C-alpha cells in the first residue's frame, strides 16, 4: 500500500515540476525569437525572476522522493542515464547563473553571452526531460542487475526525440502564455500570437506521439485494465482543446491554467500507464524495476510520508502566496526596482 501511495506522490511531484518550471523553460527558449530589444529581454527575465527558483524546488523534491522511496530506481537512473542527467544538471545550473550574472557588467557582449547560456539552459532541459521520459515509457535496456546497456545516443531514438519535441512545444506554449499574463503592449501581443502557433504545432506532435505510444509502448494496457484511469488522458486532451478557446478570446490567465492542466494530464498519463513499474526493461519484462523491488523499507516509507504530508502543503501554500502577490503585469516601474533583473 505504501509503495503505491509513494508511486502516486512521485508522479504528482514530477507533474508539478513540469507544470511550474515548464513556463520558465518555455520563456527562456523563446527569448531569442520574441525579444526585439534589451528591454524586452528584461521583461522576460522579470516574468520568470520571482518564480523560477521556487519552481525548481519541485525538481529537487521529485528527485529526493525518488531517492528516499525508491533508491534502487534512483541508482539505476543515475547509472544508466548519467550522461543525460549530468547534461540536464549543467544546463539548469547555467540557466540559474544567468539571472544573477547578466546585469553584473554593463555591456552588450556580456549580456549576449549570458542570454545564450539562458537559451541553452532552457531549451536543453525541456528537450532532455522529454527524451528521458519517452524512453522510460518505451523501456530502457537494463539487465537483471540493473545495468544499463547503452549510452546517451541510445536514448536519441525516434520515439525519444519525438517525446523531447513534444515537451519543448508544451513548454513553449506554456511560456508564451505566462509571458502574456505578465506583460503588456507589443510584447504581450507577440506572446499571444506565438502561443497560437506553438499550440497548433503541439497538437500535431501530440497526436503523432500518442499514435507512436500505442505502437512503441504498453502504457495503454493499464487503461484497459483499469477503465477509470481514462479520466487522466481525457483531462489532458480536454484542457488542450479548451486552451485554444481561451487563447483566441484573450483570456490569458485561463489559457495558462488550462495549459497547466494539460501538462499535468500528459505527465500523469505516462505515470499511470507505467504502474507498478518505475523503469521498464526493454530487454526482458522480468528485469523491470518496479515499486515492489525498488522500494525502501516500510519504516522509511512511513517516516517520509509523514514528512511529505507536513512539508508539501507548506510549500504549496507559500508558492500560492507568491503567485498571487507577484502575479501582476509588469511595468517600467518594475524594471527600475533595485532588485529587478
250: left (phi over 0), alpha (psi -120 to 50) or beta: left
Cross-strand pairs, 307: none
Beta bridge partners of 148: 142
pLDDT at 326: 83
Give the chain's domain count. 1
Instruction: Give the residues of the chain that fall short of pLDDT 50.
Output: none
Q: Which of 105, 101, 170 is nearest to 133 (CA)?
A: 170
Within a domain: 122: yes
- Residue 82's domain comprises 2-336
What pLDDT, on the 0 to 100 scale, is given for residue 179? 96
pLDDT at 159: 96
Inter-residue contact 10 to 291 (CB < 8 Å) = no
**The three grid cell numbers given for residue 227, joined into one nine-digit string:** 477503465
Please tell me the predicted confidence (pLDDT) of residue 16: 95
Q: What is the CB neighbour count within 10 angstroms for residue 326?
A: 14
Cα three-residue angle 17-125-92, rounded to 5 degrees = 85
Report pLDDT for 149.
87
The partner residues of 142 in beta bridges, in order of sequence, read: 148
Is 306 inside any structural domain?
A: yes
On whether the CB atoms of residues 128 and 91 are closer than 8 A, the answer is yes
Residues 78 and 289 sit within 8 Å (Cβ to Cβ): no
Which residue stretches of 35-107 are H helix? 38-48, 52-69, 71-80, 82-101
Paired strand residues for 29: none
Whether residue 246 is contained in a domain is answered as: yes
Residue pair 54/319 in contact by the 8 Å Cβ criterion: yes
Residue 127 maps to a domain: yes
Cell 519504516 sits on residue: 299
Cell numbers 504549496 correspond to: 316
Whether residue 180 lies inside any domain: the answer is yes
- The reply to whether 328 falls in a domain is yes
Is 266 inside any structural domain? yes
pLDDT for 338: 62
| pLDDT given for residue 35 in this prediction | 94
- Confirm whether 341 is domain-assigned: no
Amino acid at each position: 500500500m505504501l509503495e503505491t501511495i509513494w508511486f502516486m506522490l512521485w508522479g504528482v511531484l514530477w507533474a508539478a515540476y513540469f507544470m511550474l518550471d515548464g513556463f520558465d523553460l518555455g520563456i527562456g527558449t523563446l527569448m531569442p525569437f520574441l525579444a526585439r530589444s534589451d528591454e524586452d529581454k528584461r521583461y522576460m527575465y522579470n516574468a520568470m525572476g520571482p518564480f523560477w527558483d521556487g519552481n525548481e524546488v519541485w525538481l529537487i523534491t521529485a528527485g529526493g522522493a525518488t531517492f528516499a522511496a525508491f533508491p534502487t530506481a534512483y541508482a539505476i537512473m543515475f547509472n544508466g542515464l548519467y550522461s543525460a542527467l549530468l547534461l540536464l544538471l549543467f544546463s539548469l545550473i547555467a540557466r540559474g547563473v544567468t539571472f544573477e550574472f547578466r546585469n553584473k557588467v554593463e555591456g552588450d557582449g556580456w549580456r549576449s553571452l549570458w542570454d545564450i547560456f539562458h537559451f541553452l539552459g532552457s531549451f536543453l532541459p525541456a528537450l532532455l526531460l522529454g527524451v528521458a521520459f519517452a524512453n522510460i515509457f518505451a523501456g530502457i535496456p537494463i539487465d537483471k542487475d540493473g545495468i544499463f546497456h547503452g549510452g546517451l545516443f541510445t536514448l536519441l531514438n525516434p520515439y525519444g526525440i519525438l517525446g523531447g519535441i513534444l515537451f519543448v512545444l508544451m513548454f513553449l506554449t506554456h511560456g508564451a502564455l505566462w509571458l502574456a499574463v505578465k506583460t503588456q503592449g507589443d510584447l504581450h501581443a507577440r506572446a499571444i500570437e506565438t502561443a497560437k502557433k506553438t499550440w497548433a504545432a503541439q497538437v500535431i506532435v501530440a497526436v503523432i506521439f500518442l499514435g507512436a505510444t500505442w505502437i512503441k509502448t504498453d502504457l495503454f494496457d493499464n487503461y484497459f485494465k483499469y477503465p477509470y484511469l481514462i479520466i487522466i488522458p481525457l483531462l489532458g486532451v480536454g484542457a488542450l482543446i479548451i486552451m485554444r478557446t481561451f487563447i483566441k478570446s484573450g483570456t490569458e490567465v485561463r489559457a495558462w491554467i488550462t495549459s497547466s492542466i494539460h501538462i499535468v494530464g500528459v505527465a500523469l498519463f505516462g505515470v499511470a500507464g507505467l504502474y507498478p513499474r518505475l523503469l521498464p526493461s526493454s530487454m526482458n519484462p522480468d528485469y523491470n524495476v518496479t515499486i515492489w523491488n525498488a522500494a525502501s523499507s516500510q519504516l522509511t516509507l512511513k517516516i517520509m510520508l509523514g514528512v511529505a504530508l507536513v512539508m508539501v502543503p507548506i510549500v504549496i501554500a507559500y508558492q500560492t502566496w507568491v503567485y498571487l502577490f507577484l502575479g501582476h503585469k509588469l511595468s517600467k516601474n518594475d524594471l527600475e526596482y533595485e532588485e529587478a533583473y
